[in-house]
Structures are given as structure tokens and as C-alpha cells.
């Protein structure tokens, strides 16, 4: 079990996975998402290269439309 913190909430996952796969599991469009990983903004091109591990902290931000 891997314990992550996502947007301030504990989110355990069963096994280690790359960031891209993790985000896609929520149905997110990667074109419209920004991710902070342990306090650093991660480039979209690096999502597949970053393997999540125990204790990682993610901030996932999506644009919100409105008027």
C-alpha cells in the first residue's frame, strides 16, 4: 500500500504507478491539468516518467469555467 496526499486528503493506492496513469485513472484530460508534486510543478511531458511513491504529496489543479 502506498500512501499519497492528494489536494490535502489522504489517498492510498494499491501499488506504485506513474503519475500519468494515476491521473488518467480519474478520467482527467491531461491537456487541461497542472500538477504540483512534493512542492514542485511538474511538466506534462514528465508525467509518465514520474513514479509515485509512499509519502508523495500531489496538488492537482484543473481550470474551472464560469461566467
- What backbone phi and psi angles, to 5 degrees, belong to 26? -95, 5
Q: Count the helices and strands in the chain (H runs, E runs).
A: 1, 5
Q: What is the pLDDT of residue 67?
A: 62
- Show the cell assigned to 9: 486528503
Q: Quick one: how far is CA 32 from the chain centroid?
A: 13
- Residue 12: inside a domain: yes
pTM: 0.88
Residues of the chain under the 70 pLDDT cut: 66-67
- Residue 66: inside a domain: no
Q: What is the pLDDT of residue 64?
A: 76
**Could you tell me the residue range of the domain that residue 22 belongs to?**
2-61
- Residue 53: inside a domain: yes
Q: What is the pLDDT of residue 62?
A: 85
Distance separating alpha carbons of residues 45 and 8, to the nearest angstrom? 24
Number of domains composing the chain: 1
Q: CATH number for the domain including 29?
A: 3.10.20.30
Q: What is the pLDDT of residue 33?
A: 94
- Residue 67: inside a domain: no
Amino acid at each position: 500500500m502506498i500512501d499519497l496526499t492528494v489536494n490535502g486528503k489522504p489517498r492510498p493506492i494499491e501499488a506504485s504507478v506513474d503519475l500519468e496513469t494515476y491521473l488518467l485513472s480519474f478520467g482527467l484530460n491531461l491537456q487541461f491539468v497542472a500538477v504540483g508534486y512534493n512542492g514542485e510543478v511538474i511538466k506534462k511531458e514528465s508525467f509518465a516518467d514520474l513514479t509515485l511513491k509512499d509519502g508523495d504529496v500531489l496538488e492537482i489543479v484543473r481550470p474551472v469555467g464560469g461566467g
